[in-house]
């Protein structure tokens, strides 16, 4: 009798296992994992913007969506790698405003979803100034919009930014600027020089100059709160 009962229980268990397949659990089977994390998380981005790649591990078809009002994040095409591993590219544009901002990307598959909050800090107030010039030099400002012409001269791995006043034949130049600049870099020293009618009449050295921001067309440099440089490449 005991043998028959055991046999019936074994058959019943087999039937139940066939009728009720194992449920997918993201916490157990990694059904939806983004950047090796289960659940929502934050993705910080600098004010300069960035191209970010997310890694999505998922056993089913999935989508990534943004709120319609979010125009500063662009979702690229997803690419499949090995098995159930995908990559998704995000293009986060530079923050040109005065305040930090954030938006949510929702990655969904079946009944599961992960929210990635992209948060971007506010830019340094200095970078809101788009007027090229050498500020606080020689007791004043030498700006591009004061009848001067701008040019740059590249030599080796360095370059100089020059502002020329055609009326007085005065050249104001900031030299020793490295070619490859990244936000946060500190330049050991920069040289400032003015030349009038071919004769040098003023020279100054600025030490420990911080790269506040660097773009393909413009660079913001700060030596102090009162001395800073906005130069075109």
Task: Give me the residue spans of the domains in the chain.
Answer: 24-120, 125-232
Q: How confident is the model at residue 28 (pLDDT cuts 50, 70, 90)?
A: very low
Q: What per-residue confidence (pLDDT) applies to 5?
A: 43
Distance, in Å, from the CA atom of 152 to the CA atom of 125, rounded to the nearest integer, reads 25
Whether the pLDDT of residue 23 is over 60: the answer is no
Distance, in Å, from the CA atom of 211 to the CA atom of 228, rounded to the nearest integer, reads 10
- Kindly report, residue by residue over 53-82, the tens digit of the pLDDT: 999 999 889 999 999 999 999 999 888 888
Q: What per-residue confidence (pLDDT) applies to 15?
A: 40
- Kindly report, residue by residue over 92-118, the tens digit of the pLDDT: 999 989 999 999 999 999 888 999 999
Distance, in Å, from the CA atom of 202 to the CA atom of 205, rounded to the nearest integer, reads 11
Distance, in Å, from the CA atom of 151 to the CA atom of 232, rounded to the nearest integer, reads 8
- Kindly report, residue by residue over 130-170, the tens digit of the pLDDT: 999 999 998 689 999 878 999 999 999 999 999 999 998 99
CATH numeric code, 24-120: 2.60.40.10
Are the CB atoms for 106 and 115 separated by under 8 Å?
yes
Q: What per-residue confidence (pLDDT) applies to 35?
A: 87
Whether the pLDDT of residue 190 is over 90: the answer is yes
Q: What per-residue confidence (pLDDT) applies to 26?
A: 42
Q: What per-residue confidence (pLDDT) applies to 159?
A: 96
Whether the pLDDT of residue 204 is over 70: the answer is yes
Residues shown for the chain: 233
Reduced to 3 states (helix: H, G, I; strand: E, B; else coil), residue 11 is: helix
């Amino acid at each position: 009798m005991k043998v028959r009962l055991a046999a019936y229980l074994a058959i019943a268990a087999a039937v139940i296992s066939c009728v009720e397949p194992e449920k997918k659990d993201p916490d157990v089977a990694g059904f939806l994992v983004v950047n090796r994390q289960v659940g929502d998380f934050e993705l910080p981005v600098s004010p300069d913007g960035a191209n970010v790649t997310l890694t999505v591990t998922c056993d089913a078809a999935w989508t990534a969506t943004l709120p319609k009002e979010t125009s500063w994040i662009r979702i690229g095409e997803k690419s499949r790698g090995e098995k159930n591993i995908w990559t998704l590219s995000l293009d986060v544009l530079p923050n040109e405003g005065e305040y930090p901002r954030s938006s949510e990307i929702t990655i969904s598959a079946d009944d599961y979803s992960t929210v990635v909050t992209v948060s971007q800090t506010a830019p340094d107030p200095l970078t809101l100034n788009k007027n090229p010039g050498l500020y606080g030099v020689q007791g004043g400002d030498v700006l591009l919009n004061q009848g001067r012409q701008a040019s740059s001269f590249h030599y080796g791995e360095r370059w100089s930014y020059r502002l020329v006043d055609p009326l007085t034949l005065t050249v104001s130049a900031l030299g020793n600027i490295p070619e490859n600049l990244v936000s946060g870099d500190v330049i050991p020293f920069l040289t400032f020089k003015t030349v009038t009618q071919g004769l040098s009449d003023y020279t100054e050295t600025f030490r420990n100059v911080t790269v506040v921001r660097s773009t393909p067309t413009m660079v913001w440099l700060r030596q102090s709160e009162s001395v800073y440089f906005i130069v075109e490449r």
